[in-house]
Amino acid sequence: MDSSSSALSRVICLLGENPEIQSRLRHELREAKNINNGQELDYDQIMNLPFLDAVIRETLRLYAVSFFLTSTDIERMVQIPTIEYCDPNVSAQKILVSWLAHPIS
């Protein structure tokens, strides 16, 4: 799953669970839009919203989106199909990545 969508889902979930925080964030966003004459906010304006920044940082603190790699033998994690041919121009890593992306049924 994409880390951005995971983080955004957590933000939305936490805002739903905390209506007072949601109201405060909505107020900050509406005020910023009013100051901008009702126009959509650009990147720099959004980046200067302190409460929005705090909400996102707190969400990432509580639910860090992280990936990790271990040295576990991959054959114990997935069943790798037998490869019937040997091509010196194709590395085992390329074959494994291809298989993981498009598993054989």
What number of other Cβ atoms are within 10 A of residue 31's Cβ?
A: 11
CA pair distance 105, 102, nearest whole angstrom: 9
Q: Could you read off the pLDDT of 22-45 as tens digits, one per residue?
A: 999 999 999 999 999 999 999 999
Whether the per-residue pLDDT at 104 is higher than 70: the answer is no
Banded model confidence at residue 67, pLDDT cuts 50, 70, 90: low
Q: State the pLDDT at residue 68.
A: 53
- What's the gap between Cα 67 and its chain centre? 10
Distance CA 5, CA 79 (A): 29
CA distance 1 to 8: 12
